[in-house]
Structures are given as structure tokens and as C-alpha cells.
Homo-oligomer: A and B are copies of this chain.
Amino acid sequence: MTFALDATAQDLLFREAHTANTFTDEPVSEEQIEAVYDLVKLAPTAFNQSPLRITLIRSAEARERLVRRLAEGNQAKTRSAPLTAILSVDLEFHERLPELFPAMPGLKDAVFAERAAREQAGTLNATLQAGYFILGVRAAGLAAGPMTGFDAAGVDKEFFGDGRQKALMVVNIGRPGPDAYRPRAPRLSARDAVTTL
């Protein structure tokens, strides 16, 4: 089996990439993250709903507000990361659908009038986009440290007080520092994860 993607790129995105737990001081700019976003925004979501939102934690004050909502084991590494992103779903994503999916002008009201429908579809599609984003960070030559260990209700209240967005995960971004990586744990084999009918 030959991939169209060359081995160097496979290594960069998957084989040699690891979740980083320490970071160097080298800064990561908003422009870098915007370039990552501009690449990964092209990957698909249902009805092109594009519900992912990215909140970059740059100021010391915002970082401290975030860190105290994280699980204890995630605090020190997040204080040391040059940039941290909260990935969230915009539960009002449907407002932009007439522009994002012009082929079905009625979609916004026909399918997504209810918040519960938006929460289900939006969470699924924003999480898909989170997967694209993590690989996009790696494509930029940076290491990602995604985390779900945080007080989600607390983060939502602190950063998304109007209830419009819900945090899905927090991602530290930077160059890996000393002892950045845990040994890679085993993965499930295809025999365990793939079934053919």
C-alpha cells in the first residue's frame, strides 16, 4: 500500500509527532495560528457549518483565568506554553449558514432552529475540526498538547459568559521543550478497530 502523502509528511503529522508536555520560550504568533486555521478550515463539515471557534490565550491575565480552571496536572505545562488555544463550538453557528451553504437557503431555520439540534451537530462538527486543527498545528512545525482535563462549566462561564460557545478542549501550542514527550503508549491494532461486513 502506497500513500499519496510522502513519508516525510506522514512522519511530521503522525509518526514522529507527539503530544508535548513542555515547551520552549519561542513565541507562537497569532499569524501562525491564523495560517493554520486558513489551511484546516478547508476540510469538511456537514453543510459546511464550520462551528469551531478558537480563543487564543495570550495575556497573562487570561492565562491565569484559564489555568485555575484546569485539572492540576495540566496547570504547570499550560503556564509554560507560549500560546494556548481554547477550542469551542459556536452554538449560534446557524446564523452564518445562508452564507456558508447557499445551496439550501432554508437550512438555518428548517434544521437548526432548536438549540438542541445545533448542540448535537455543532459539537460533532467542531470536534472534527479540532482533529483537523491538531494536525494543522503539526503541519506548521509546532507541537500541540490537547487537553480535556478542565472544569468545562467553569471555562464556559469564565470565557463564554453569554452561553453562545462551549469549550471542547484546550490545546497548548509551541516548540517542544526538554523531556516534552511521554513514551508512546500502544495503539489498538486494525484487527481490533476495523471490521468488514
Using CB atoms and an 8 Å cutoff, list the residues of chain A in contact with chain B.
Answer: 1, 3-6, 8-10, 12-15, 17, 19, 30-35, 37-44, 46, 48, 50, 52-59, 62, 96, 99-103, 121, 123-124, 127-132, 134-135, 138-141, 144, 146-149, 159, 168-169, 182, 184-188, 190, 192-197
Partner of A13, one of B5, B41, B186: B5
A-B contacts, 5 of them at CB < 8 A, read A1-B140, A5-B13, A19-B44, A42-B187, A96-B192
Instruction: Determine whether the beta carbon of A33 is less than 8 Å from that of B194.
Output: yes
Instruction: Determine whether the beta carbon of A193 is less than 8 Å from that of B54.
Output: yes
In the A-B complex, the 6 residue pairs with the smallest Cβ-Cβ separation, listed nearest first, are A131-B131, A4-B141, A5-B139, A62-B197, A34-B190, A127-B127
How far does the alpha carbon of A190 sit from the alpha carbon of B42 in the complex, in Å? Answer: 12
Q: With contacts A101-B185, A182-B103 known, is A10 near B129, CB below 8 A?
A: no
Could you say how many copies of this chain the assembly holds? 2
Instruction: Determine whether the beta carbon of B140 is less than 8 Å from that of A196.
Output: no
**Closest Cβ of chain B: how far from A146's Cβ, in Å?**
6
Instruction: Determine whether the beta carbon of B37 is less than 8 Å from that of A190.
Output: yes
Question: With a CB–CB cut-off of 8 A, which chain B residues contact A144?
Answer: 44
How far does the alpha carbon of A144 sit from the alpha carbon of B50 in the complex, in Å? Answer: 18
How far does the alpha carbon of A68 sit from the alpha carbon of B96 in the complex, in Å? Answer: 31
Partner of A48, one of B37, B141, B185: B185
How far does the alpha carbon of A132 sit from the alpha carbon of B123 in the complex, in Å? Answer: 16
Question: With a CB–CB cut-off of 8 A, which chain B residues contact A197?
Answer: 55-59, 62, 159
Question: With a CB–CB cut-off of 8 A, which chain B residues contact A102?
Answer: 185
Instruction: Determine whether the beta carbon of A42 is less than 8 Å from that of B14.
Output: yes
Question: With a CB–CB cut-off of 8 A, which chain B residues contact A4?
Answer: 12, 138-141
Instruction: Determine whether the beta carbon of B128 is less than 8 Å from that of A196.
Output: no
Instruction: Determine whether the beta carbon of A43 is less than 8 Å from that of B14.
Output: yes
